[in-house]
Amino acid sequence: MTEILDILVSAAFWTAVLRIATPYVLGTLGELLCERAGVLNLGIEGIMTLGAMAGWMAVYQGADLWTGVLFAAFCGALLGLLHAVLTVPLGLSQHVTGIGVTLLGTSLSYFVYRLVLPQASTPPTVTPFQPLDLPGALAQTPLTYLAFALVGLVAYVLYRTPVGLAVRMVGENPAAAEAQGLSVTGVRIGAVMAGSALMALAGAFLTLSAFNAFFFNMVNGRGWICVALVVFASWRPGKALLGALLFAVFDALQLRLQQVAGGVLPYQVFLMMPYLLSILALVLVARRASYPRALMVPYRKGER
Amino acid sequence: MTVTTSAMPTPVAARADGKAEVVLRLAGITKRFGPLLANDSISLSLRAGEVLALLGENGAGKTTLMNILFGHYVADAGSIEAFGRPLPPGSPRAALQAGIGMVHQHFTLADNLSVLDNVAVGTERLWRPWSDRGTAKRRLLDLAGRFGLGVRPDALVGDLSVGERQRVEILKALFRDARILILDEPTAVLTPQESAGLFETLRKLTADGLAVVFISHKMNEVFAASDTVAVLRAGKLVATHATASTDREKLAELMVGRAVKPPSPAPLAPGEPVLALSAVTVKSDHGRPLLDAVDLTIRRHQVVGIAGVSGNGQTALADLVSGLIHPDAGHAALKGETVDRADPAAMVRRGVARIPEDRHSAGLVGAMAVWENLIAERYRDPAFSRLGVLRRGAARAYAHDVIDAFDVRCPGPDARTQLLSGGNMQKLILGRTLAHGPDLILASQPTRGLDVGAVSYVHGRLLEARAAGAGVLLISEDLDEILALADSIAVIHHGRLTPLLPHDRVSVRQLGLLMAGHWDILPEIVDAA
């Protein structure tokens, strides 16, 4: 017990929490944006992988770090466009399409990586974003600050601007949005592309900030956690931040507990802990979550 | 007033002042859905300050016409002119910009958003970096005050009553400066008091120079609210009249294409009991009594009407007779056999025909074919399945027979059920339940939402079944329906049921008092009878 307390009061622990939370914050915001418009985006895992690869690859080829980040977001938006075109105007199953996009994004990333670097046995590295020179837990890279700023921005856009109202409306009742002269197809495609760009940013954070290279399997299920965090957050950006931080606390804690108590329990038990606690939190919180009413319902004009 | 033909664009009857400008002109609107001619060269015009009632049976093409006007559908032929300018087809946005607002029958509101959000969405430039909520709110409250449409801007739509939601829908149109307002069956979901409030609002709107089209199949509304009435039948405009110069019978005849006679049940001597409830009590999950020591006997050749304000135990009574719920105390018997624990399938086997209250959710499976719905109650019957395999040929042939016998208007047994109009869905249910000579018919709100023609059809079929020896339990919130059909009437209030009162010994006033819970007048009725 005292070990846990020791960990919780150390500044290094909280530095780690904020760093670990960053991709979850970005990914959850992206997924939240898609789902608020009524489109479930299970392509998130593949889009994050593509973002990680594309961002890193751009920098490796000589672009500067911010150009790499923008390029990652652009690639994510493109994959999002694919998902949106299949699910919105064509009305295909969002689950099946999303899984397809994940498989495509992941294998495409590995394929391009191997195409450019066929021989590399140890992954080549780039110089990543450096932590700002600030005291304690504030010593984070710019992407982490960007992620936390985006929480406020997404919340502002959703709740305070006409375009945010349009996004929420097409996710709640597309027929009503259409009757008010909005283009349901246009708004949904836009929201999915923007959301996917955020997911790709989450990926780019991994290769350009948390690490300095691209590995296979480096996204490692973070996308799926984001999908669950959206439900945990009841589709609200503020709660999404909270959820991402909570998960990061569990994750950072298990890493340290492994070191402390590794001799007693097999380390897999600790690896399991954040997921177990997330499921528990989901059960407690999300039972009374109110879904966007039109989530996963394809909209076809003029159908009764 | 003369009856005009459809092809001629006849100006509608002028209002008292006679000079108001024509704000809307439909010319030769034609629309086909596959083989169905939904609108056949319809021409109409509307003046500022006028209320036009579009009257017609279900499936006559009223809603299609208005959906074309509002841009949900594109007409195959014809043109629309609003305020002297042609309206581009197929664009709700263009219709909104031209000053046309539509209140749909099924409200197009988002429950999880506030009233203000619902009203304001799409009214600002999409890429404005902020919403001007303050101005929008002031404007909303101003409109609400001017036209007597009280709403709370910050309330969630999901928390509002049906009447309030309709006010939000109307405000949505007014917020966008609609000068022409289309209302699709606005009163179908309202209480009589709310309807009266709506008509009051319409008067304020037309006094302000708006033109209103409202779609209806209820006569009394047409007379309560409209200046002009246009009658549609089978996709054609059959007449346009000044409302004041016509009468109910004439309109009903125009609408249905023949004279409609009110049902006149021949007196029949009641036979043996088919349903006997003795001191049946049913409690809710929270222990509140839904039915409280109910005694009820229904005999062959007898229609028993249950009158009452909705929510007083009618649903529990219907569920009990369907076998969906069971008595917590007391006994239920069908043809002398106890059925206290019978499930719905057993009740059907014992001769109960059910016409459920909500045909969409409890009566039919919309996504399935007509023939599948028709055999839904007896698909295990050897006639329709053998060794666990459906006999599709036999089922389709049977469906064909029922479709013919019950005049279900549909493309055929394979049509998807949700494409049928409400009246035809109800005929489908009647066909499913009445084709086998039931002993007891449970009819819950059997004509809710149906038009004159379909109502008269349903009533006729129920009376036929009564003549053939069935007992009918008619649960209805429409007092006129009960008075027209029932041999005996019982009033339900807070789960308690009055004794049966002969229909010719009880007045509407007395029924109203009983429905409101004034059971102290019971002795005088029972003694007189």
Nearest CA in chain A to B112: A172
Cβ-Cβ contacts under 8 Å, B131 against chain A: 160-162, 165
Q: Are residues B339 and B346 in contact, defined by beta-carbon separation less than 8 angstroms?
A: yes
Task: Using only the alpha carbons of chain A, give its radius of gyration.
Answer: 20
User: What is the domain range of residue A221?
Assistant: 2-119+127-286
Gap from B120 CA to chain A (nearest CA, Å): 9
What is the C-alpha to C-alpha distance for residues A47 and A68, in angstroms, rounded to an integer? 15
Is A41 a member of any domain?
yes
pLDDT of B18 reads: 53
pLDDT of B5 reads: 38
Is A292 a member of any domain?
no
| Mean pLDDT (whole number) for B130-154 | 90
Is A280 a member of any domain?
yes
Gap from A162 CA to chain B (nearest CA, Å): 5
Q: A46-50, A219-223, A288-292, B474-478: lowest mean pLDDT where?
A: A288-292
| Average pLDDT over all residues of chain B | 86
Is A181 in Cβ contact with B172 (below 8 Å)? Answer: no
Name which of B112, B124, B127 is nearest A293 (Cβ-Cβ).
B112
pLDDT of A273 reads: 79
Long-range (24+ apart) CB contacts under 8 A made by B322-326 are B322/B347, B322/B352, B322/B354, B322/B356, B322/B442, B323/B347, B323/B352, B325/B282, B326/B282
Does the pLDDT value for residue A258 go beyond 50? yes
How many Cβ atoms sit within 10 Å of the Cβ of residue A22? Answer: 26
pLDDT of A262 reads: 60
Name which of B102, B124, B172 is nearest A162 (Cβ-Cβ).
B124
Strand, helix or coil at B331? strand
Does the pLDDT value for residue B335 go beyond 50? yes
pLDDT of B1 reads: 36
Cβ-Cβ contacts under 8 Å, B73 against chain A: 302
Q: Are residues B280 and B330 in contact, defined by beta-carbon separation less than 8 angstroms?
A: yes
| Mean pLDDT (whole number) for A58-80 | 96
Query: What are the pLDDT digits (tens) for B13-33?
Result: 344 445 678 999 999 999 987
Tokens 């150390």 correspond to what residue?
A: A10
pLDDT of B191 reads: 63
Biggest CA pair distance of chain B? 76
pLDDT band (50, 70, 90) for residue B242:
very high
Name which of B122, B130, B418 is nearest A161 (Cβ-Cβ).
B130
Does the pLDDT value for residue B359 go beyond 70? yes
Strand, helix or coil at B312? coil
Nearest CA in chain A to B133: A160
Provide the number of structural domains found in chain A: 1
Q: Which of B126, B169, B416 to mutate to test the interface with A (most CBs of A within 10 A)?
A: B126
Is A304 a member of any domain?
no
How large a percentage of chain A has pLDDT more than 90?
67
Q: Which candidate, B70, B519, B3, B29, places its Cα nearest to that of B235? A: B29
Task: Using only the alpha carbons of chain B, give its radius of gyration.
Answer: 25
Name which of B96, B110, B129 is nearest A173 (Cβ-Cβ).
B110
pLDDT of A301 reads: 66
| Mean pLDDT (whole number) for B138-151 | 90
What is the C-alpha to C-alpha distance for residues A191 and A235, in angstroms, rounded to an integer? 14
Query: What are the pLDDT digits (tens) for A176-192?
Result: 898 888 899 999 999 99
Nearest CA in chain A to B124: A162
pLDDT band (50, 70, 90) for residue B489:
very high
CA of residue A87 relative to chain centroid, distance: 20
Is A295 a member of any domain?
no
Is B121 in Cβ contact with A182 (below 8 Å)? Answer: yes
Residues of B engaging A, defined by a Cβ cutoff of 8 Å? 67, 70, 72-73, 92-93, 96-97, 102, 104, 108-113, 117-118, 120-131, 172, 418
Query: What are the pLDDT digits (tens) for B367-422?
Result: 899 999 998 888 888 888 888 888 999 999 999 999 988 888 888 899 888 888 77
pLDDT band (50, 70, 90) for residue B441:
very high
Does the pLDDT value for residue B430 go beyond 80? yes
Does the pLDDT value for residue A302 go beyond 60? no
Domains and CATH numbers, chain B: 1-99+179-258 (3.40.50.300), 110-178 (no CATH), 273-351+437-528 (3.40.50.300), 366-431 (no CATH)
Is A165 in Cβ contact with B121 (below 8 Å)? Answer: yes
Nearest CA in chain B to A167: B121
| Mean pLDDT (whole number) for B442-470 | 87
Does the pLDDT value for residue B161 go beyond 80? no
| Mean pLDDT (whole number) for B485-493 | 92
> What ipTM score was computed for the predicted complex, to two decimals?
0.82
Does the pLDDT value for residue B3 go beyond 50? no
* Between B440 and B4, residue with greater pLDDT: B440
| Mean pLDDT (whole number) for B134-145 | 92
| Mean pLDDT (whole number) for B286-307 | 91
pLDDT of B13 reads: 39
Residues of A engaging B, defined by a Cβ cutoff of 8 Å? 160-163, 165-166, 168-169, 172-173, 175-182, 290, 292-293, 301-302, 304
Does the pLDDT value for residue A195 go beyond 70? yes
pLDDT of A272 reads: 84
Is B92 in Cβ contact with A292 (below 8 Å)? Answer: no
pLDDT of B73 reads: 87
Cα–Cα distances (Å) from A159 to A16, A153, B92, in that order, read 31, 10, 25
Name which of B72, B125, B131 is nearest A160 (Cβ-Cβ).
B131
Is A44 a member of any domain?
yes
Is A302 a member of any domain?
no
pLDDT of B328 reads: 93
> Phi-psi bin for A229: left (phi > 0), alpha (psi -120 to 50), beta?
alpha
Query: What are the pLDDT digits (tens) for B53-73?
Result: 998 876 788 888 988 998 888
Q: Are residues A18 and A144 in contact, defined by beta-carbon separation less than 8 angstroms?
A: yes
Name which of A162, A172, A179 is nearest B126 (Cβ-Cβ).
A162
How large a percentage of chain B has pLDDT more than 70?
93
Query: What are the pLDDT digits (tens) for B167-184?
Result: 999 999 999 999 999 998
pLDDT of A207 reads: 96
Does the pLDDT value for residue B218 go beyond 60? yes
Tokens 């329906």 correspond to what residue?
A: B481
| Mean pLDDT (whole number) for B294-323 | 90
| Mean pLDDT (whole number) for B216-229 | 85
Q: Residue A127 class from Cβ within 10 Å (0-12 exposed, 13-18 middle, 19+ buried)?
A: exposed
Query: What are the pLDDT digits (tens) for B198-209?
Result: 899 999 999 999
Q: What is the CATH number of the domain that holds A138?
A: 1.10.3470
Q: A48-52, A157-161, B340-344, B419-423: lowest mean pLDDT where?
A: B419-423
Does the pLDDT value for residue B8 go beyond 60? no
What is the C-alpha to C-alpha distance for residues A206 and A68, in angstroms, rounded to an integer? 12
Does the pLDDT value for residue A235 go beyond 90? yes
Any idea what the Cα angle at residue A18 is, between residues A15 and A24, rounded to 5°? Answer: 150
Is A291 a member of any domain?
no
What is the C-alpha to C-alpha distance for residues B431 and B39, in angstroms, rounded to an integer? 28
pLDDT of A38 reads: 95
pLDDT of A8 reads: 82
Does the pLDDT value for residue B514 go beyond 60? yes
